[in-house]
């Protein structure tokens, strides 16, 4: 087969066969395709799209471009993927909850992207935690503790690494078929039995409109189910920060408090318990949603989920007593941000709040940036909360007074208040 001919075929809008897609993915992986050819192909895919069969073929070829984990266990292998948001620390609680409910969870996670935080960056705030171990270590920790929240290894879906870097450099990121193949090639390489997707929509999500979120959720579930992994997607609200914190160490602390029961913010709990229940039912670890919810409540109340989290942290190099004594980096300056006039929070530009955390040093501006793990926001007032001179919007955690002042100004701009309380809004918006 000749690469320029296959690229021309897609350029002209024809449908590629499974063999042609496998040939192209092989060339992306082993260098048989030049950078120019990968770029041209990404643009052809972007402009002409891929039909349902092509999407499935592209995803499975990219999954098979590296090693695919094999488990052969007496319990199902499960995972979750979120399309990303601000304050989204759900993975930190969900993996140990599912493990405590009887699943194995090899959760391959990513770093922060744009204004959103990344699960790996949050975990890197735990002293000693090795977030990118070798595949054998991931396997050992999953077998020993039930879960491992870790980064992508070099042998997992290598075609995606090259294609994603090319897309980033060629203006071809925002394509549903390419996003689907990219996300799912990595998830399917974990050797999963079932998967739950958290597709976020709203001012802090990459898919701001519900219509786009639903289209992405549908495309993702079609391909994942087509590849033989029982998959369900929930569409959840990202019109405000999830939970009460945003910033790496602060979010880890919130996750520990959630697991131990010290504090459990309502919307965060709703998203976490709903995702957990959905995938427990998909994996037949629970007969229905009510039974699944009861299991989730049980492992939280008994402390079993907190115990799994502590064991996983210790097995990956963190402190043995992390849950009992969560020592984490902290910022030297803390400062409440309060509006001058009393009122109710009615809306939030959540992307701007994510960028406040970036401005404080809590997310990367460039890929080689060092993250400041201790900075961020805590006690974030949710939509509907009463705020005013004595009721802050949030507490800023900063390295210095000037960055704290900048963050305060930006946060005040990002939040709208009114004399009237807003209507209640659900956090779960749909299911695909």
Identify whether 80 is a catalytic site residue.
yes
Q: Which is nearer to ligand URA, 358 or 378 (CB)?
A: 358
Does residue 86 touch ligand URA according to CB under 6 A?
no
Which range touches ligand URA (CB under 6 A), out of 44-52, 175-183, 347-355, 400-408?
A: 175-183
Task: Considering the complex, state which of residue 46 and residue 344 has its C-beta at the smaller distance from ligand URA.
Answer: 46
> Which entry of 186, 253, 351, 397 is annotated as an active-site residue?
186
Least gap, CB of 6 to ligand URA (angstroms): 22
Tell me whether residue 165 or residue 262 sits nearer to ligand URA (CB atom): 165
| Catalytic-residue membership of 186 | yes
The distance from CA 152 to its chain's CA centroid, rounded to whole angstroms, is 13
Q: Mind spelling out the 3-state secondary structure of 347-381?
A: EECHHHHHHHHHHHCCCCCCCCCCCCCCCEEECCC
The window from 174-182, 196-204, 247-255, 318-326 that contacts ligand URA (CB under 6 A) reads: 174-182
**Does the annotation mark 413 as catalytic?**
no
- The tokens for 109 are 């996670």
**Which one is catalytic: 63, 111, 161, 167?**
167
Tokens of 117: 């935080």
User: Would residue 82 show up in a list of annotated catalytic residues for this protein?
Assistant: yes
Q: How far apart are CA 148 and CA 133, in angstroms?
A: 10
Active-site residue, 347 included: no
Q: Is 48 a catalytic residue?
A: no
**Could you say which of 55, 60, 63, 79 is catalytic?**
79
Regarding 207 and contact with ligand URA (CB under 6 A), the answer is no
Examine residue 183 and tell whether it contacts ligand URA (CB under 6 A).
yes
Q: Are 229 and 185 a contacting pair, CB within 8 Å?
A: no
Which one of 65, 119, 153, 403 is the catalytic residue? 119
* Residue at shortest CB range from ligand URA: 182
Least distance from C-beta 173 to ligand URA, angstroms?
Answer: 6
Q: Does 179 bind ligand URA (CB under 6 A)?
A: yes
Nearest distance from C-beta of residue 10 to ligand URA, angstroms: 18
Please count the residues of the chain: 432
Q: Which is nearer to ligand URA, 187 or 267 (CB)?
A: 187
Rounded CA separation 27/23 (Å): 6
Catalytic residue among 10, 80, 122, 253: 80
CA distance 176 to 394: 35
Least Å distance, CB 55 to ligand URA, is: 13
User: Which residue of 37, 152, 172, 182 would you call a contact of ligand URA, by CB under 6 A?
Assistant: 182
Nearer to ligand URA, 179 or 194 (CB): 179
- Does the footprint of ligand URA cover residue 91 (CB under 6 A)? no
Distance set, CA 333 to CA 322, 365, 387 (Å): 24, 22, 22
Q: Is 403 one of the catalytic residues?
A: no
Residues belonging to the active site: 79-82, 119, 167, 182, 186-187
Contact residues: ligand URA, CB under 6 A:
164, 178-179, 182-183
């Amino acid at each position: 087969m000749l690469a320029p001919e296959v690229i021309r075929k897609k350029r002209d809008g024809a449908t590629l066969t499974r063999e042609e897609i496998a040939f192209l993915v092989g060339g992306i992986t082993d260098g048989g395709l030049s950078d120019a050819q990968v770029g041209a192909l990404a643009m052809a895919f972007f402009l002409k799209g891929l039909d349902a069969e092509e999407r499935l073929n592209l995803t499975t070829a990219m999954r098979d471009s590296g090693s695919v984990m094999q488990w052969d266990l007496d319990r199902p292998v499960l995972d979750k993927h979120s399309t990303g948001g601000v304050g989204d620390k759900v993975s930190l609680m969900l993996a140990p909850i599912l493990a405590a409910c009887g699943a194995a969870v090899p959760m391959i996670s990513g770093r922060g992207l744009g204004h959103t935080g990344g699960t790996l960056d949050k975990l890197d705030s735990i002293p000693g935690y090795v977030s990118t171990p070798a595949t054998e270590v991931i396997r050992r920790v999953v077998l020993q503790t039930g879960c491992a929240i870790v980064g992508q290894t070099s042998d997992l879906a290598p075609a995606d690494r090259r294609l994603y870097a090319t897309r980033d450099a060629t203006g071809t990121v925002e394509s549903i078929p390419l996003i689907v193949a990219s996300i799912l090639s990595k998830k399917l390489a974990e050797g999963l039995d079932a998967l739950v997707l958290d597709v976020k929509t709203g001012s802090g999500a990459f898919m701001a409109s519900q219509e786009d979120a639903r289209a992405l959720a549908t495309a993702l579930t079609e391909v994942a189910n087509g590849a033989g992994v029982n998959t369900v997607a929930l569409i959840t609200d990202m019109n405000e920060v999830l939970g009460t914190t945003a910033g790496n160490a602060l979010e880890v602390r919130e996750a520990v408090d959630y697991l131990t029961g010290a504090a459990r913010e309502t919307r965060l709990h709703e998203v976490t318990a709903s995702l957990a229940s959905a995938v427990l039912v998909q994996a037949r670890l629970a007969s229905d949603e009510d039974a699944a919810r009861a299991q989730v409540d049980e492992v939280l109340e008994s402390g079993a989920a907190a115990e799994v989290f502590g064991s996983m942290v210790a097995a990956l190099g963190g402190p043995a007593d992390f849950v009992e004594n969560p020592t984490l980096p902290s910022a030297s300056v803390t400062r409440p941000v309060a509006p001058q006039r009393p009122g109710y929070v009615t809306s939030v530009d959540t992307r701007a709040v994510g960028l406040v955390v970036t401005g404080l040093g809590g997310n990367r501006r460039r890929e080689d940036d060092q993250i400041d793990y201790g900075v961020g926001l805590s006690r974030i007032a949710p939509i509907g909360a009463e705020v005013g001179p004595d009721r802050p919007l949030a507490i800023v955690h900063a390295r210095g007074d000037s960055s704290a002042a900048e963050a305060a100004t930006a946060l005040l701009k990002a939040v709208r208040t009114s004399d009237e309380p807003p209507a209640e809004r659900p956090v779960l918006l749909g299911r695909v």
